[in-house]
Amino acid sequence: MKKIKITGNRPLKGEITISGAKNSVVALIPAAVLADDLVILDGVPQISDVDSLIDILEVMGVTVERDGETLTIDPRGLKNMPMPYGKINSLRASYYFYGSLLGRFGIATVGLPGGCDLGPRPIDLHLKAFEAMGATISYEGENMTLKAVDGQMHGATIFMDTVSVGATINTILAAVKAKGRTVIENAAREPEIIDVVTLLNNMGAHIRGAGTDVITIEGVERLSGTRHQVIPDRIEAGTYIALAAAVGQGIKINNVLYEHLESFIAKLEEMGVRMTVSEDSVFVEPQGSLRSVSVKTAPYPGFATDLQQPLTALLLKATGQGTVHDTIYEKRVGHVPELARMGADISVKGDRIAYRGANPLEGAQVKATDLRAGATLVIAGLMADGQTTITNVEFILRGYSNIIAKLQALGAEIELVEEA
């Protein structure tokens, strides 16, 4: 069993560099199998979700080479075969293979997706889009088969009932080699979607409107190989900015795109966090007193649900009381009882998290219930007096590249240990 042990209340100082976006790369890798030649991705984070996706590709006959943060994918040996259930069930983003395999072969047999338990995250929007484009759906055991009626997807106009990043990307993947035009209305606008579209257009796709709520795809017959730089991870950046405000004595976060974090940084400024935002970095100064605020998540460009939890740890340093309302994932509250175990005045009331600060935290044994909850507990452990031990750290390693080494370089007393 892997655990993270932290001796807290140590001042941190220095620089940290943000890795490539986890929420981009888990879609870029499945997108690569649509190509007829090599796809090279630069800036790929060293996270377990990437390891799982590589395993899936290799089982399906794809050759993958990894050199540091560069991933070379050769999809020419890709076999049209059922995907391995165990691997598919290990991460939710495996569902992007639905769209890419439909686009390449007109058929996909896959296991149902896994990932963090954050409440209802149905894939009905994905399936509705595929059906509109001519696919039939059948189930056998834990597998689902999607099949284009005449062997090729067909363009359609699709209105997303709710804004969904996953459904938007999956529809794009299924549409790039479809016959005719596909229009996605009420599309998600996240930067990760723009990143995936940039890759596909460089491969020869014809996609317009990424970053707006209407995306148009003109199907093409083939896609070529290309080289692509993954965008910086805005969620990792926000996590380390919150950490720097909580325990830093001057920390510079490099490889940050401010335009991807405007709503988050605006909330920090409302709290009174002192920082200097530059073209591609943020310097977080040592902090004085902070003001409590209330947070409400929303689809991009609103406050990101993935940053709700990391910010909560910083909110515990603010004077006063406030609430956090996650409108995207109703069960994104697993960090609350763990923070309370460390002495935080925090609870779930109805559909909101209520907190009161500032009160000191004490080290404790806590459990990561999902990826971002785990990051929250790392921040809390660095804030707390004494030692904190975090279990279920596999969640954290799914999404934060080299987190232990990055924090140790800032002076944190943190280690990853493996116990029987």
Catalytically annotated residues: 116
- The reply, when asked if residue 89 is annotated as ligand binding, is no
Axis-axis angle for helices 234-247, 22-32 (nearest 10): 160
Q: Which residues pair with 277 in a beta bridge?
A: 282
- The reply, when asked if residue 125 is annotated as ligand binding, is yes
- The reply, when asked if residue 122 is annotated as ligand binding, is yes
- The reply, when asked if residue 328 is annotated as ligand binding, is yes
Residues 6+ apart with CB under 8 A from 65: 71, 72
Are the C-beta atoms of residues 212 and 183 closer than 8 Å to each other? Answer: no
What are the CA-CA distances from residue 164 to residues 120, 329, 403 (Å)?
13, 12, 28
- The reply, when asked if residue 92 is annotated as ligand binding, is yes
H helices of 203-334, where? 234-247, 262-271, 305-315
User: Mind giving me the DSSP string for 142-202?
Assistant: TEEEEEETTSS-B--EEE-SS--HHHHHHHHHHHTTSBSEEEEES----HHHHHHHHHHHH
Dihedral sign from CA coordinates of 317, 372, 395, 57 = negative
- The reply, when asked if residue 306 is annotated as ligand binding, is yes
What are the CA-CA distances from residue 282 to residues 50, 94, 255, 285 (Å)?
27, 33, 9, 10
Structure tokens at 343: 């002495």
- The reply, when asked if residue 23 is annotated as ligand binding, is yes
- The reply, when asked if residue 124 is annotated as ligand binding, is yes
- The reply, when asked if residue 123 is annotated as ligand binding, is yes
Task: Give the whole-angstrom CA distance, residue 406 versus residue 412.
Answer: 9
Nearest-10 Cα torsion for 38, 43, 48, 49: -60
What are the CA-CA distances from residue 273 to residues 176, 238, 248, 348, 410 (Å)?
44, 13, 12, 25, 19
> Binding site for UDP-N-acetyl-alpha-D-glucosamine: residue ranges?
92, 121-125, 306, 328
> Binding site for phosphoenolpyruvate: residue ranges?
22-23
